Structure 1
Amino acid sequence: MAEQAERVIPLTEPPAEDGEKGPSKSALKKAAKEKEKAEKAAKRQAAEEAQKKESESNDISKNDYGELPMDGAWPSAFPSKDEVPRVLLTDLEEYFGDASKMDVEGGPHIVFRASVENARSQSAKLAFLVFSRGGASIQAVVAASDDLSRQMVKFCSSVPAESYVLVHGLVKKPMEPVKSTTIQNLEVHVKKLFVEGKAEAQLPMQVADAERPIPIEGEEETVDGRPIVQLNTRLNNRVIDLRAKHNQAIFAIKDGVVALFEEFLRSKKFRGIQTPRLLGSASEGGANVFKVEYFATQAFLAQSPQLYKQMLVAARFERVFEVGPVFRAENSNTARHLTEFTGLDMEMEFEEDYHEVVSLLEELMLFIFAGLKDRYKRETDLVRSIYHVDEFKLPAKGAVPRLPFSEGIKMLRNAGEEINDFDDLSTPQEKRLGALVLERYGSDFYVLDEFPLAIRPFYTMPTAATQAKYNPEKPNEGYSNSYDFFMRGQEIMSGAQRIHNAAFLVKRMKEHETPVDPQGEGLKDYVNAFKAGAPKHAGGGIGLERIVMLWLGLPNVRLASLFPRDPSRLSP
Structure 2
Amino acid sequence: MLDRTYTADAEPGDHVTVAGWVHEIRDLGGIAFVILRDKTGQIQVKFEKDEMDEELVETGLGVHRESVVAVTGEVEEEPRAPTGVEVTPESVDVLAEADPELPLDPSGKVDAELPTRLNNRTLDLRKPEVKAVFEIRAEILRSAREAFRDLGCTEINTPKIVATGTEGGTELFPITYFGEEAFMNQSPQLFKQLMVGSGLERVFEIGPIFRAEEHNTPRHLNEATSIDFESAFFDHTDAMDACEHVVKAAYEGVAENCQQQLEALDLADEFEVPEGEFPRLSYEEAIERINATGELDTQLVWGDDLPTEGEKALGDDVGGHYFVTDWPSEIKPFYIKDHDDDEQLSTGFDLMHPRMELVSGGQREHRFDRLVEGFEQQGLDPDSFDYYTKMFRYGMPPHAGWGLGGERLVMTMLGLQNIREAVLFPRDRQRLSP
Q: Is the structural similarity TM-score above 0.5?
A: yes
* Matched letter for residue 502 of structure 1: F
Distance 1:536 1:240 in 2: 49
Partner of 2:9: 91
- The one-character-per-residue Cα deviations of 1:53-88 (angstroms, maximum 9, x if unpaired) are xxxxxxxxxxxxxxxxxxxx87xxxxxx5xxxx311
Amino acid in structure 2 at the alignment position of 1:415: T
Could you tell me whether the CA contact under 8 Å between 1:275 and 1:308 is conserved in 2?
yes
Q: 1:366 aligns with which of 228, 248, 254?
A: 248
Structure number with higher relative contact order (C-alpha < 8 Å, ≥ 6 residues apart) = 2
- Could you tell me which residue of structure 1 aligns to residue 136 of structure 2? 253
Corresponding letter in the other structure for 1:524? D
- Whether the aligned pair in 2 keeps the contact of 1:135 and 1:245 (CA below 8 Å) is no
1:215 is aligned to none
Matched, 1:451 2:357: no
Q: Would you say 1:566 and 2:405 are equivalent positions?
A: no
SS in 2 for 1:570: coil
1:337 maps to which of 216, 220, 244: 220
- What corresponds to 2:18 in structure 1? 112
Question: Could you say what secondary structure the match of 1:316 adopts?
Answer: coil
Amino acid at match of 1:115: W
Q: 1:526 matched to which residue of 2? A: 388
Q: How many pairs does the alignment contain?
A: 431
- Per-residue CA shift, 1:88-139, capped at 9, x if unaligned? 11333xxx3xxxxx4xxxx43111211100123322x532110111141121
Once the two structures are superposed, the pairs formed by residues 109-508 of structure 1 within 5 Å of their partners are 109-123=15-29, 125-144=30-49, 148-174=52-78, 176-178=79-81, 181=82, 183=83, 185-209=84-108, 228-350=111-233, 353-384=235-266, 391-392=271-272, 394-396=274-276, 399-416=277-294, 417=296, 418-438=299-319, 444-467=320-343, 478-508=344-374
Amino acid across the alignment from 2:335: Y
Q: Which amino acid aligns with 1:276?
A: P
2:75 counterpart letter in structure 1? V
Q: Aligned in 2, Cα 1:384/1:480: closer, same or farther, shift over 3 Å?
A: farther
Deviating runs (4+, > 3 A) in structure 1? 388-393
**Deviation readout 1:229-284 (Å, 9 max, x if unpaired):** 21111111111111110111111111111111110111221001010000122342
Does 242-251 or 302-311 show the bigger shift? Answer: 242-251
- Structure 2 contact 366–392 (Cα < 8 Å) conserved: yes
Amino acid at match of 1:394: P
CA distance in 2: counterparts of 1:446 and 1:374, whole angstroms:
24
Compute the displacement of 1:411 (Å): 0.7
Shift of residue 362, structure 1, vs aligned partner: 1.1
SS in 2 for 1:315: coil
- How many Å separate the matches in 2 of 1:161 and 1:393? 39
Residues 515-535 of structure 1: CA distance to partner in whole angstroms, max 9, x if unpaired? 101112xx1111001011100
1:390 deviates by 5.7
Whole-angstrom distance in 2 between the partners of 1:367 and 1:393: 9
DSSP-derived class of the 1:479 partner:
strand
Q: More strand per residue: 1 or 2?
A: 2
In the alignment, the residues of structure 1 paired with residue 96 and residue 341 of structure 2 have an alpha-carbon distance, to the nearest angstrom, of 67
Say whether the 8 Å CA contact 1:402–1:447 is kept in structure 2.
yes
Match of 2:238, SS state, is helix
Q: Distance in 1 between matches of 2:45 and 2:39?
A: 17
Preserved contact between residue 20 and residue 69 of structure 2 (Cα < 8 Å): yes
Q: TM-score, normalised by structure 1?
A: 0.73
CA distance in 2, matches of 1:312, 1:260: 23
413, 418, 421: which one pairs with 1:551? Answer: 413
> CA offset at residue 539 of structure 1?
0.4
Work out the CA distance in 2 between the residues paired with 1:177 and 1:488.
44
CA drift at 1:294: 1.3
1:317 aligned counterpart, secondary structure: coil
What amino acid sits opposite 1:413 in the alignment? N
- Alpha carbons 2:355, 2:412 under 8 Å: kept: no
Tell me the percent identity: 33
- 1:433 and 1:489 in contact (8 A); partners too: no
Distance 1:391 1:110, change over 3 A: closer
Find the aligned partners of 1:272 and 1:532 in 2 and give their Cα distance.
Answer: 23
Cα distance in 2 for partners of 1:154, 1:411 equals: 69
- Cα 1:245/1:161, change in 2 over 3 Å: same
Distance 1:510 1:445 in 2: 35
Is the 8 Å Cα contact of residues 303 and 328 (structure 2) preserved in structure 1? Answer: yes
CA-CA distance at 1:208 after TM superposition: 2.3
1:374-416: CA deviations, max 9, x gaps?
A: 222221232245xx996457232xx221111111111111112
Counterpart CA distance in 2 for 1:283 and 1:231 is: 33
Q: 1:511 aligned to 2:373?
A: no
Query: Please, what is the CA RMSD of the aligned residues?
Result: 1.9
Matches of 2:23 and 2:63 in 1, distance apart? 10
Q: What amino acid does structure 1 have at the position aligned with 2:49?
A: A
Mapped partners of 2:389, 2:431: distance in 1? 37
Looking at structure 2, the residues matched to 132 and 363 of structure 1 have their Cα atoms a distance apart, in angstroms, of 38
The one-character-per-residue Cα deviations of 1:329-359 (angstroms, maximum 9, x if unpaired) are: 01111000010011111100125x4311211
Residues 88, 393 of structure 1: CA spacing in aligned structure 2 closer, same or farther, 3 A cutoff? closer
